[in-house]
Chains A and B, each alone.
Chain A
Amino acid sequence: MAGLAQDAGVVLRLDGITKRFGALTANGDVSLDLKRGEILALLGENGAGKTTLMNILFGHYVADEGRVMVSPDGTGLSELEPGSPHAALQAGIGMVHQHFTLAENLSALDNILLGTERLAALSSSRAPARRKLEELMARSGLTVSLDARISQLSVGEKQRVEILKALYRDARVLVLDEPTAVLTPQESDTLFATLKKLADDGLGIIFISHKLAEVLASSHRVAVLRGGRKVADLPTAECDRRKLAELMVGHAIVETMRSPGSPGAPLFVLNKASAGHGRDALRDVDLTLRSGEILGIAGVSGNGQTTLARVISGLEPLTHGSMTLEGKAIGQASARAMIDNGLARIPEDRHHDGIVGAMSVSENLAIESIRKPENQRLGLLRFSAMRERARNLIKAYDIRCQSEDSPARLLSGGNIQKIVLARTLETVPKVVLAAQPSRGLDVGATSDVHKRLLAARDRGAGVILISEDLDELMRLSDRIAVIHRGHLSEADPSDTLDRGSLGLRMAGHNAEDAA
C-alpha cells in the first residue's frame, strides 16, 4: 500500500467517502488527495457537503463508506481511525472551525496548551511551550500576544490563535472552514499571505470557501463539490471565475446588473433620529428613502447599523427624532405596526431573528401574517390554506426543502433566507429593509437575493440595503450613505463614488476630506 509512485508527497487521501443523513446524501463517493506544501480550495455552495466532508476527516462524523488515509510521518499512507478527533489530532490534522473553539476567559497561551498538555503539567510546560510558540510565530508571521485574554482579541487574532494551536500540535495538514467569513478584506489578505508561507514550509492546507476571488487568488488546486459529489478537481491556474461559478452552481450564471432606477417621491424618512446607547447607538440620523430606489448604507460593522435596522424593524424605540412613512408619523413603533404599515424586514441574523427553527417551513412562511384571515378563522389555524400557500411560495422562490412540513432549521442558510424573502416580499411591501441580506450566502443564493431586491425596487418599493460588502452596495444601490459611529452621511449617487472614497468615509473622514 505504501510507497507507490503516485503517493509521493501525498499527506492526506480521502478515498470514496460517502455519508448519508436519512434520505440526504451529504457526500457521495468523494475522493481527494492533498500533497505536501499544497493549498487546496474546497469550493461549493452552501449544502454542497464541504463541511460534512471535513467533519468526517476530523472524526466528528463517521463515513458510511470510504476511508481517510494519512501519512503521519511523510512516508506511507495509513488508515485513520474513523470517528476519533483524537486520532486525527495525533495524525497531524489541525482544524480551524468557522466558529472558534476558544475559552474566552483564558489567555491565548492557555488556550493553545489546553488539550495538548496534561492538566497537571500545565504550569511546568508553559515556559518551553512559550519558546516553541515564539519560534512558530517568528517563522510563520502569525503574531499574537500570548498573554492576552481571548475575549480581548479581535476576530482575526482569535483565528491566528486557532491556527497556532494546530501548528503547536505539529499539524501537517491544516483545514480551515470558511476562514474569511468573519474577516475584513485586509485581514483576509494577511491570512492568505500567512497560509502561503506555511505551505512553502511544507504544510498541506485545505480551505473551504464559496468565494471565487479568494480561491482564484490563493489556492494551488481547486476541488469543486456540488450536491455532495466532487464535480471537478483541477489546478487553479486552469480556472477562471466564470468556469468555477458554473461548476459550483451547475449551470451558467448571469450576474445581476442594475439598470438605472427611476426614484419617485420621498417614502420613508428618519428625521434627527437617535436610538440605542453605547457603541452601536444611532445619533441624529437623517435619512430619506424615495420610492423606486435602493439606498445603500455602508459602514464597518458595529457603527450603528444594527440599531438602525432594529429601529426600522420596530424593535427599538427612538429616543429622539421622528420616523415618517408616506408623510405620516410612525409613533410607538412595534414589529407588528411596521409589518402592517407595509415594511418588509430582512433581519441581519436570519437564524436568530428570521426563523423559528423547530417550526415547519409552512409555519415560518405564515408567521408574520398568522392573524390575517387567510391563516386563521375565529382563532383556529387554517392548515390546508397555510400549506397550500407554502407550496406556492416554495415553488415561486425555489426554496429547497423536503416538504412544507419539514422543520426550517434543516434548511441551508440560502434557503432560510428565501423563506424570509418569500414571506416578506409576497405582501408587496412599500419599504424593504435588507440587513446584510447576502452574508454567508453562496453565489447562487446571493444572486437570487439581489434579483428579488431589484425587482422590488423596479415595481416602486424603496429598499434600504445595509451591507458591509462594498461590491454588493456598489452593484445594487442607487445612492449610498455611510454610517460611522452612529452618524449617517449624506447619500450620494453610487456612480459618483468609488471604493476608495467610501473606504475613507467608513473610516470616519468626511466627504470633503475624501474628495
Chain B
Amino acid sequence: MIRFEPRGPSSVSRMLGVSIAAAVAALLLAAIPMAFAGLSVFEGYSLMVKGAFGSLFAFTEMLTRATPLILTGLAVAVAFRAKLWNIGAEGQLYAGALAAVAVGTGVISAPPYVLIPIVIVAGALAGGLVMLGPTLLKTRLGVDEVVTTLLLNFIILLFVQMMLEGPMKDPMGMGWPQSEPILDAAALPKLMDRMRIHWGLVIALVASLGVYFLLKRTVWGFEIRAVGENAAAARHAGIPVTATFIRVGLLSGALAGLAGVGEVAGLKGYLTADLSPGFGYSGIVVAMLAGLSPAGVVLAALFIASIFVGADSMSRATGVSNYLADLIVAMALLCVLVSGLFLRFKIRFVGSQTNQEAAE
C-alpha cells in the first residue's frame, strides 16, 4: 500500500535532489526504446556522454546549444514565477532574431561597439513587444495568455517566412528563403578560435545572474513573487498587479528575444525559418526542471543541451534516430511534473499488517 503524507516547506537540497532524480528517471525510461532500437543501453549513453563532453569541440558545441536554452528557460521561469503562462518563447525568439537581422544587415553601419548593442537591444525589444500583446489582453480583458502566446508562435513563424520570401529575402541567396547575412560589425564575437561558441553564452549567464538578483533583491522582484504566489493578497496590499504583469511580460519576451539574437548574430549569421529546433518549447522543460530558479535554469539548460548534442552524435555513430533526444526531454518534463508530488508529499510504502490484536 502506498501512503501520502504532506511535507513541510521544501529545502533547496531536496528540490535539487528531485530535479536530478527526474533527469535520471528520464534517462532510464528512454533506455527502453533505445534497447528496442537494438542499441545496448550502456553503449548508447556512453556515446552520448562522449558526444557532449568527449572533446573540447564536443563540449563547446554543447555550450553553444545551451546558450539559447538558458535564455528561453529564463524567459519561461520569470514569467511562470508571476503565474504569467508564457508559452510563446519560440515566437519571441523569432521576433528577436528578425529584429536583429533588420538592424544588423546593413541598414545601419557603425563600429561593432555601437552596432552590437543596437542589435541586442533591438532583439530584446522585439521579443518584449511580442509578449506585451498577450499580457495586455490578459490584464485588460482577461484573455487566457496560454492560448494567445501559443498561437502567436505560429503567426510569428509565418510572418518570418513571409519576410524571408519577400522584403527581407537575400538577393544573393540563390533563391533560398533566407535573410541577408549579419554584418561582421554586428555579429557577436566568437569566444574561441575554430569553435562555434560565441558571446551569446556570456549574455545568457549574465542574464541569469540578473534575473536572480532581480527576483531576490529588488522591489520589482518582490512584487513579481508576491503577485505570482497570491495575486489577490498582492492587490489588497497595494502592489501594482497590472504593472507587474506588464514588466514581467516585457522581461520574459526580451529574454526569449535575446535567444534569437544569439542564434542569428552569434551562430548562424543569417535568418532562416528553421533557426530554432523548438528552443522556445524546450525552454519550458528547462524552466520546470530548474524549479523556476534562475541558477537552476543554467544547470537544466546544460543537461538538456547535452542530451541534444549527445543524441546527435550517437545517432551519427549508430544510425539510431536522434528523435531519442526529444523523447528524453519530453520524459524529463513528465518526470519533473510527477516529482512535484514528491516535493509536497512524503511517500511511504506500507506492507499490509496483520492485526496482532486479533491474533491474541
Q: Is B356 on the interface with A (CB-CB < 8 A)?
A: yes
Task: Bits for A354-378, please: 1 = Cβ < 8 Å to B, else 0.
Answer: 1111110001000110110001100
**A33 to B82 alpha-carbon distance, docked (Å):** 49
Contact A81 B219, beta carbon cutoff 8 Å: no
Known: A78-B358, A407-B9. A368 touches B218 (CB 8 A): no
Q: Is A22 on the interface with B (CB-CB < 8 A)?
A: yes
Instruction: Report chain A residues within 8 Å CB of B355.
Output: 78-79, 81
Contact A370 B223, beta carbon cutoff 8 Å: yes
- The stretch among B114-122, B232-240, B322-330 that forms the contact with chain A is B232-240
Instruction: Report chain B residues within 8 Å CB of A260.
Output: none
Q: Is A315 on the interface with B (CB-CB < 8 A)?
A: yes
Instruction: Report chain A residues within 8 Å CB of B217.
Output: 380-381
Task: Bits for B222-265, please: 1 = Cβ < 8 Å to A, else 0.
Answer: 11011001101111111110000000000000000000000000
B308 to chain A, nearest CB (A): 33
**A359 to B226 alpha-carbon distance, docked (Å):** 7
**A5 to B348 alpha-carbon distance, docked (Å):** 38
Q: Which residue of A lies closest to B357 (CB)?
A: A78
Q: Is A342 on the interface with B (CB-CB < 8 A)?
A: no
Q: Is A397 on the interface with B (CB-CB < 8 A)?
A: no
Instruction: Report chain B residues within 8 Å CB of A347.
Output: 236
- The stretch among A127-135, A266-274, A333-341 that forms the contact with chain B is A333-341
Q: Which residue of A lies closest to B9 (CB)?
A: A407
A402 to chain B, nearest CB (A): 11
Q: Is A73 on the interface with B (CB-CB < 8 A)?
A: no
Q: Is B55 on the interface with A (CB-CB < 8 A)?
A: no
Residues of A366-405 at the interface with B, using a CB-CB cut-off of 8 Å, are 367-368, 370-371, 375-376, 379-381
Q: Of A83, A345, A358, which is within 8 A of B236 by CB?
A: A345
**A376 to B357 alpha-carbon distance, docked (Å):** 63
Contact B239 A381, beta carbon cutoff 8 Å: no
Point out which of A335, A347, A352, A354 has the most chain B C-beta atoms below 10 A from its C-beta: A335
Instruction: Report chain A residues within 8 Å CB of B233.
Output: 352-356, 367
Contact B226 A367, beta carbon cutoff 8 Å: yes
**A381 to B214 alpha-carbon distance, docked (Å):** 10
Q: Is A138 on the interface with B (CB-CB < 8 A)?
A: no
Q: How many residues of A contact B (CB 8 A)?
A: 42
Contact A370 B219, beta carbon cutoff 8 Å: yes
Contact B218 A354, beta carbon cutoff 8 Å: no
Q: How many residues of B contact A (CB 8 A)?
A: 33
Contact A367 B3, beta carbon cutoff 8 Å: no
Contact A315 B235, beta carbon cutoff 8 Å: yes
**A137 to B145 alpha-carbon distance, docked (Å):** 50
Q: Is A168 on the interface with B (CB-CB < 8 A)?
A: no
Known: A356-B226, A370-B222. A335 touches B237 (CB 8 A): yes
Q: Is B220 on the interface with A (CB-CB < 8 A)?
A: yes
B41 to chain A, nearest CB (A): 38
Q: Which residue of B lies closest to A349 (CB)?
A: B232
**A22 to B10 alpha-carbon distance, docked (Å):** 12
Q: Of A62, A356, A380, which is within 8 A of B234 by CB?
A: A356
**A367 to B241 alpha-carbon distance, docked (Å):** 13
Instruction: Report chain A residues within 8 Å CB of B229.
Output: 356-359
Q: Of B1, B226, B230, B236, which is within 8 A of A315 by CB?
A: B236
Contact B238 A336, beta carbon cutoff 8 Å: yes
Contact A83 B219, beta carbon cutoff 8 Å: no
Known: A83-B350, A358-B229, A407-B9. A381 touches B236 (CB 8 A): no
Residues of A68-93 at the interface with B, using a CB-CB cut-off of 8 Å, are 77-79, 81, 83-84
A439 to chain B, nearest CB (A): 16
Q: Of B234, B235, B356, which is within 8 A of A79 by CB?
A: B356
Q: Is B360 on the interface with A (CB-CB < 8 A)?
A: yes
**A154 to B81 alpha-carbon distance, docked (Å):** 38
Contact B357 A62, beta carbon cutoff 8 Å: no
Contact A81 B237, beta carbon cutoff 8 Å: no
Instruction: Report chain B residues within 8 Å CB of A357.
Output: 229-230
Q: Is B13 on the interface with A (CB-CB < 8 A)?
A: no
A432 to chain B, nearest CB (A): 15
Contact B218 A379, beta carbon cutoff 8 Å: yes
Contact B219 A376, beta carbon cutoff 8 Å: yes
Q: Of B218, B230, B239, B240, which is within 8 A of A380 by CB?
A: B218
A-B contact pairs, 27 of them (CB 8 A): A1-B357, A21-B8, A62-B3, A62-B5, A62-B348, A78-B358, A81-B355, A83-B348, A84-B1, A84-B3, A315-B236, A335-B238, A347-B236, A352-B230, A353-B233, A354-B233, A356-B229, A357-B229, A357-B230, A358-B225, A363-B222, A367-B234, A370-B219, A376-B219, A379-B218, A381-B217, A381-B222
- 7 shortest A-B CB distances, which residue pairs? A336-B238, A78-B357, A335-B238, A358-B229, A356-B230, A353-B236, A367-B237
Q: A79-B357, A356-B233, A381-B217 are in contact. List 17 more A-B contacts (CB 8 A).
A: A1-B357, A62-B3, A79-B355, A83-B3, A84-B1, A84-B3, A315-B236, A335-B238, A339-B237, A356-B226, A359-B225, A359-B226, A359-B229, A363-B226, A367-B226, A368-B238, A381-B219
